[in-house]
């Protein structure tokens, strides 16, 4: 076997037993029928599973199938439609769990692997490269999802909820969407954001989030500007769009501004910003934000509001 194949096989071996198929059943005319299928992965030995909210929402019953063919009934622990993340549980112990990695230090161009159940073909593997990090994606119902990873890994219906892993076999994202009619455009939610959301879903079953109304993208800051202002990080958050009448628009933020600090903390990734917004502590309070606008450093206050439910 060639060395490239060995890398892929080794990475898949580390996580494949944690990947599950999720079938959603609903009642129709007093009969139960399957209404959709997706993927997920076990992340704790007691049977907690991460997946997409749209895979499990409105289910009458969830059936979870492991790689060895074992089947279990899944129960929803928590669901957050805003970020399209859900946690379900199968009851038992000793399950093989995937190792959660870090998405904040990913590099565009690195090799990634997607595992899932596209079109019902269980435990299918596809590979690609990371094409973009820290993007904002608009969901089919119109709301914004942050900390999105873009790749060219082949995905199809049924991949949703499955893991995106790196060559070390660690999960770096949850596969969540493809754009119909396009090629080489697939999207996943960065695992840094997933871990923050999961913490609240496990504890409370729901997540309260602050809303800014920003469309963002991670970028490198020019070394000359970084050195002139003695910035400690070489990355920032580029504002590529704003929602009308949003807190960001009312604060006079503009497209092209680069966020370098938020609420006293340095932000170098979309995941960093998301951590500040989760939990509701800053809702309706003035928050100091530092930006780069062209070649100037500006500071201003922004007043986040509670994000309405999707």
Tokens of 310: 């999707």
Find out whether 87 and 48 touch, Cβ atoms under 8 Å.
Answer: yes
Residue numbers annotated as active site: 54, 84, 160
How many residues can be counted in the chain? 310
Dihedral pair phi/psi, residue 193, rounded to 5° = -70, -40
* Distance separating alpha carbons of residues 239 and 219, to the nearest angstrom: 10
Per DSSP, helices labelled H in the chain are: 3-15, 53-56, 191-204, 223-228, 247-250, 270-277
Which residues, other chains included, contact 217 with Cβ-Cβ below 8 Å and sequence gap of 6+? Answer: 132, 134, 135, 136, 237, 238, 240
C-alpha 65: how far from its chain's center?
Answer: 23
Rounded to an integer, what distance in angstroms lies between the CA atom of residue 33 and that of residue 55? 15
Task: Look at residues 25, 62, 36, 33 and name the one whose alpha carbon lies nearest to residue 47.
Answer: 62
SS3 assignment, position 33 = strand
Q: Write out the two tokens for 6.
A: 């060995």
Distance between CA atoms of residues 72 and 46, nearest Å: 13
CB 150 within 8 A of CB 131: yes
């Amino acid at each position: 076997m060639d060395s490239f194949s060995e890398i892929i096989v080794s990475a898949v071996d580390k996580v494949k037993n944690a990947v599950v198929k999720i079938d959603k059943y609903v009642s129709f005319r007093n009969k139960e029928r399957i209404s959709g299928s997706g993927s997920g992965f076990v992340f704790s030995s007691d049977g907690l599973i991460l997946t997409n909210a749209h895979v499990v929402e409105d289910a009458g019953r969830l059936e979870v199938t492991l790689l060895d063919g074992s089947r279990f009934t899944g129960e929803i622990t928590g669901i957050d439609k805003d970020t399209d993340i859900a946690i379900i549980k199968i009851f038992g112990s000793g399950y093989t769990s995937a190792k959660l990695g870090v998405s904040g230090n990913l590099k565009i161009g690195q090799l990634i692997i997607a595992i899932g159940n596209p079109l019902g073909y269980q435990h299918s593997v596809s590979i690609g490269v990371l094409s973009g990090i820290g993007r904002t994606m608009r969901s089919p119902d119109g709301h914004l999802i942050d900390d999105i990873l873009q790749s060219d890994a082949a995905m199809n219906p049924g991949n949703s909820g499955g893991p995106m892993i790196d060559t070390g076999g660690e999960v770096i994202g949850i596969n969540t969407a493809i754009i119909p009619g396009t090629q080489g455009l697939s999207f996943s939610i960065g695992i840094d954001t997933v871990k923050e959301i999961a913490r609240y879903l496990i504890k409370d079953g729901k997540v309260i989030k602050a809303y800014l109304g920003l469309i963002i993208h991670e970028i490198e800051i020019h070394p000359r500007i970084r050195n002139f202002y003695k910035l400690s990080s070489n990355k920032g958050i580029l504002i590529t769009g704003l929602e009308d009448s949003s807190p960001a628009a009312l604060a006079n933020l503009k497209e092209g501004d680069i966020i370098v600090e938020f609420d006293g903390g340095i932000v170098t990734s979309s995941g960093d910003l998301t951590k500040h917004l989760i939990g509701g502590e800053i809702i309706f309070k003035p928050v100091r934000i530092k930006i780069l606008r062209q070649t100037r450093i500006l500071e201003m206050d922004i007043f986040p509001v509670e994000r309405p439910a999707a």
